[in-house]
């Protein structure tokens, strides 16, 4: 019973130390920092919006003087106040205009989170490719280690020369150096990726959830959704501003006062109404908003056109990479199944030299390295494409 519990505990430990792509994204530090920053900025913008939509505070003023006359003398004083009152929809329109503008700002900041998440996905896939390359290097080194052991026996029996044995030994040592280098690179890339998360540094990556390499990528028709929503909110904010300036009267000022003279008390109440039609300021303010709307439209159109061009360019290169990966795979498989066995058999029968055999093996490793580099380019472009197209899911 104790043995079963120990085995179960070890199994749980092994499972818990393996992380998936979803684990990386869920536990990533940079998006959480940005989300917290966005939350604080949202609260700041909300407060600013409320502040800008409220009327000015009550103003109070007072004065005191002394009157010295023939019949009477003494102090006189007065005190007054004024209060701005927003009328009609002014207050609501101001608040709505501010809200739309800060919502547009917050939406655009979501693009930063999207870019970081896609960057982390790219790092995850590069790490998985590094692990695959380490496995290939280990396989190559193991093959030549076994070959070298056999050839040592053959050399002692006088079947091969010292030169041939030395050439195999040098190739084995070269593969050892390459294997050590790939292991160090794989370890460093994993440490970098995990350092960006809250996961344990000794975790291993699942790599069973990497994105398949495909020539056709399903890009939704509603591309650049975040940019379009942000633009829509800015336009709505400008339209709200135009409505606000269309009001004949958007505010008034209530004034009141009390004056104490030597022989009388005077109370005053009044209303101050700005006559907007007597000034060109509202007209120029509306013109400014209209020009701003036109400039915003042109800027948005240019931005979408540029993103669309970049998406098309990345997509074409992505298709080329995918087709190249498939062609290179077939080429490597054909090389393994047909040419490599012939060269190996020819070498074993003494029909070809060890140099020819070594060159055939080196050619295979070179082809596998080329395939790895093409896959790296594919995933770099894939996640850049998702970022530019403002796509989050597969």
Per-residue pLDDT tens digits for 82-95: 887 777 677 778 78
> Phi first, then psi: what are they for 199, rounded to 5°?
-85, 155
Q: Give, in order, the Cα–Cα distances in Å from 2 to each of 9, 12, 197, 368.
A: 10, 15, 35, 47
390 burial level (CB within 10 Å; 0-12, 13-18, 19+) = buried
Measured distance CA(243)–CA(103) in Å, rounded: 19
Asked which of 6-20, 79-93, 360-374 is least confident by mean pLDDT, the reply is 6-20
User: For the residues 279-291, what does the mean pLDDT come to?
Assistant: 82
Domain spanning 25-388, CATH architecture: Up-down Bundle (1.20)
Cβ contacts of 87 within 8 Å, gap of 6 or more: 249, 250, 251, 252
pLDDT of residue 14: 42
At 324 the pLDDT is 96
User: What's the pLDDT score for residue 227?
Assistant: 92
Helix 354-388, helix 340-348: angle, nearest 10: 160
Mean pLDDT value across residues 181-206: 91
Q: Are 300 and 227 in contact (CB under 8 A)?
A: yes
Is it the case that residue 16 has pLDDT exceeding 80? Answer: no
Amino acid 216: pLDDT = 87
Pick the residue with more confidence: 48 or 183?
183
Beta strands in 145-261 (DSSP E): 204-205, 251-260
- Split at pLDDT 50, 70, 90, the class of 7 is very low
In terms of average pLDDT, the best of 48-52, 189-193, 218-222, 285-289 is: 189-193
- pLDDT exceeds cutoff 50 at 12: no
Residues 6+ apart with CB under 8 A from 350: none
Taking residues 134-160, what's their average pLDDT?
A: 88
pLDDT digits over 231-259, tens only?
A: 999 999 989 888 877 777 777 778 888 88
pLDDT at residue 158, as a whole number: 86
Q: Which range, of 33-47, 118-132, 380-394, averages the lowest pLDDT? A: 33-47
Q: Measuring CA to CA, which residue among 55, 51, 42 is closest to residue 83?
A: 55
Residue 11 has a pLDDT of 44
Mean pLDDT of the chain, nearest integer: 84
213-228 mean pLDDT:
83
Residue 321 confidence (pLDDT) above 90: yes
Give the pLDDT confidence score for residue 101 in this predicted structure: 86
Residue of 340, 370, 388 whose CA lies nearest to 129: 370
Q: What does the pLDDT look like over 41-50, one tens digit per residue?
A: 778 777 776 6
For residue 65, what is the enclosing H or E element? strand 59-68
When pLDDT is averaged across residues 142-165 and rounded to a whole number, the result is 87
Domain ranges in the chain are 25-388
Cβ atoms 256, 80 nearer than 8 A: yes
Token reading at 127 = 């790490």
Q: Which of 311 and 242 is assigned the larger pLDDT?
A: 311
Mean pLDDT confidence for 295-303: 93
- pLDDT on residue 394: 53
Question: pLDDT-derived band of residue 4, with 50, 70 and 90 as boundaries?
Answer: very low
Q: What per-residue confidence (pLDDT) applies to 355?
A: 84
More confident residue, 38 or 221: 38
For residue 305, the tally of other CB atoms under 10 A from its CB is 10
Mean pLDDT, range 282-294, rounded to an integer:
85
Q: Given this model, what pLDDT does residue 148 score?
A: 87
Whole-number pLDDT of residue 52: 63
262: β partners: none
The answer to whether residues 175 and 102 touch, using CB atoms and an 8 Å cutoff, is: no
Residue 173: predicted pLDDT: 92
Mean pLDDT, rounded, for 152-157: 88
């Amino acid at each position: 019973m104790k043995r079963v519990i120990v085995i179960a505990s070890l199994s749980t430990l092994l499972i818990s130390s393996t992380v998936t792509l979803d684990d990386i994204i869920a536990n990533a530090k940079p998006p959480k920092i940005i989300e917290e920053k966005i939350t604080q900025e949202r609260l700041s913008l909300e407060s600013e919006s409320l502040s800008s939509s409220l009327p000015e505070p009550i103003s109070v003023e007072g004065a005191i003087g002394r009157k010295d006359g023939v019949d009477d003398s003494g102090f006189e004083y007065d005190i007054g106040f004024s209060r701005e009152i927003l009328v009609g929809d002014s207050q609501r329109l101001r608040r709505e205009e501010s809200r739309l503008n800060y919502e547009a700002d917050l939406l655009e900041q979501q693009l930063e989170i999207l870019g970081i998440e896609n960057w982390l996905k790219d790092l995850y896939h590069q790490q998985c490719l590094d692990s695959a390359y380490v496995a290939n290097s280990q396989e190559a080194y193991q093959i030549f280690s076994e070959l070298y052991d056999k050839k040592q026996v053959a050399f002692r029996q006088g079947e091969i020369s010292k030169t041939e044995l030395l050439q195999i030994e040098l190739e084995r040592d070269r593969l050892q150096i390459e294997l050590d280098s790939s292991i160090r690179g794989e370890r460093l890339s994993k440490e970098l990726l995990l350092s960006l998360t809250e996961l344990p540094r000794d975790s291993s990556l699942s790599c069973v959830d990497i994105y398949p390499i495909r020539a056709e990528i399903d890009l939704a028709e509603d591309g650049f959704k975040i940019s379009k929503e942000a633009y829509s909110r800015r336009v709505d904010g400008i339209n709200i501003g135009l409505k606000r300036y269309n009001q004949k009267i958007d505010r008034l000022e209530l004034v009141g006062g009390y004056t104490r003279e030597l022989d009388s008390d005077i109370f005053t109440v009044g209303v101050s109404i700005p006559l907007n039609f007597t000034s060109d300021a509202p007209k120029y303010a509306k013109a400014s908003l209209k020009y701003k709307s036109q400039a915003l439209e042109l800027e948005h159109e240019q931005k979408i056109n540029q993103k669309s061009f970049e998406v098309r360019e990345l997509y074409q290169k992505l298709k080329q990479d995918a087709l190249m990966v498939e062609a290179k795979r077939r080429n490597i498989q054909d090389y393994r199944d047909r040419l490599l066995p012939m060269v190996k058999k020819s070498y074993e029968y003494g029909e070809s030299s060890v140099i020819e055999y070594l060159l055939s093996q080196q050619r295979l490793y070179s082809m596998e390295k080329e395939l790895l580099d093409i896959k790296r380019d594919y995933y770099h472009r894939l996640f850049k494409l998702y970022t530019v197209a403002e796509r989050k899911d597969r």
